[in-house]
Structure 1
Amino acid sequence: MRAEQGRRYSGVAMLFHWVIAALVIMNWQIVERAGDLDGALRGTVMGYHKAWGIVILTLSLGRLAWRLTHRPPPFASTLKPWERALAKTVHTLFYVLLIGLPLGGWIANSYIGKPIDFFGLFTIPALPTGTNPDLGGSIFDLHETGGKILLLLIVLHVAGALKHTLIDRDGTLWRMLPFGTPRG
């Protein structure tokens, strides 16, 4: 094994990272566009948002399982203690939100009494929560707030990657890409 491979995430971890990132951005845009629609079309577009949320939940659970069974590469030795603490915090919050947001959406749908249509292939039943539209609405409000927090974390994450690439030039970005040279 080349030395740089020990400083890179595995190919599976990279695939999970980039696919989930793309789906989160896509799903954010879907819900943003749905806000401009009315009636049945809005319901159809929101149905896609919910189905993609289930895909994100499934992939995030897979990513977490992979992460728990495959040690990630160590942080670059050039990172300051505050940078390591911030990176750990942001990564933990990503997992919490990538799992919590879809679960929250599913729970909110369940309280409203709605199953989730999975791209017309099958129906994901409501959870056995009973019906409570007010509580479902409150959970949807939390879901929306959590989504905004997730977007802020994405901006912070990208800013950190850019800082390490353009200012520090420490190769940190290349740990999550199959090319480039990660450094120690």
Structure 2
Amino acid sequence: MRYSTGAIILHWAIAIAVITNWRLAEATEGASREVAMSLMGTHKALGITILFLTILRIAWRLTHTHPPMSASVKGWEVVVAKAVHALFYILLIALPLIGWVANSAFGRDIDMFGLFTIPALPVAGDPDMGGSLYDLHKLLGTTMLVLIALHILGALKHHILDRNGELYRMLPFGTPRG
């Protein structure tokens, strides 16, 4: 059984946005100040977009049933999958919020792709706190990359080794097996 179309669209939109946002942050390394600031502006706007899409995804998940895993999936795999998914949701909420609070500690608004501005949160102007939060944001971003790798490896294991059709539950093609 396949996930609903809405769940599939949100999954892949968030996945693409997260990978893009990681690459934007990486691209600032060694870039000129002007280029780095532009890239980070896009990174921040995309981060807020990821927060919005994640809230939508959670609302979707709460209001739509999702398919059960294949009966061939082992108990420990179910536990790991559920833990990874829970951590994904925590990080998909925490990363943008921590980035927003850190940005706000420097008194900066977030320009949403030139369409509108999200104001800084009402936190004390504290560059030390902002810097510490940016460090935490970077650490959690690295944690997100590790989880993405685990998620991809798990999907590939099910597809290549187990051949159980689990991968097709989140794709608009192929045949999921029960």
1:128 is aligned, of 122, 126, 131, to: 122
> Which aligned segments of 4 or more residues in structure 1 are displaced greater than 6 angstroms?
none
Is the aligned partner of 1:44 residue 2:38? yes
Separation in structure 2 between the aligned mates of residue 78 and residue 41 of structure 1, nearest angstrom: 49
Aligned partner of 1:3 in structure 2 is none
Residues 29-178 of structure 1 aligned to structure 2 (within 5 Å): 29-178=23-172
Unaligned runs of 5+ in 2: none
* Count, aligned residues: 178
Unaligned runs of 5+ in 1: 1-6
SS of residue paired to 1:36: coil
TM-score by length of 1: 0.94
Query: Sequence identity, in percent?
Result: 56
Query: Which of 86-95 and 114-123 deviates more?
Result: 114-123
Separation in structure 1 between the aligned mates of residue 18 and residue 79 of structure 2, nearest angstrom: 24
Question: How far 1:68 moved relative to its partner?
Answer: 1.1
Separation in structure 2 between the aligned mates of residue 88 and residue 72 of structure 1, nearest angstrom: 13
Separation in structure 2 between the aligned mates of residue 22 and residue 118 of structure 1, nearest angstrom: 18
Aligned partner of 1:4 in structure 2 is none
Q: Which letter maps to 1:54?
A: I
Q: Which letter maps to 2:102?
A: A
Residues 2-13 of structure 1 aligned to structure 2 (within 5 Å): 7-13=1-7
Q: Which letter maps to 2:128?
A: D
Q: Deviations over 1:82-132 (max 9, x none)?
A: 000000000001101111101110010111111111111211100011211
Aligned partner of 1:27 in structure 2 is 21
SS of residue paired to 1:21: helix
Q: Which letter maps to 1:50?
A: K
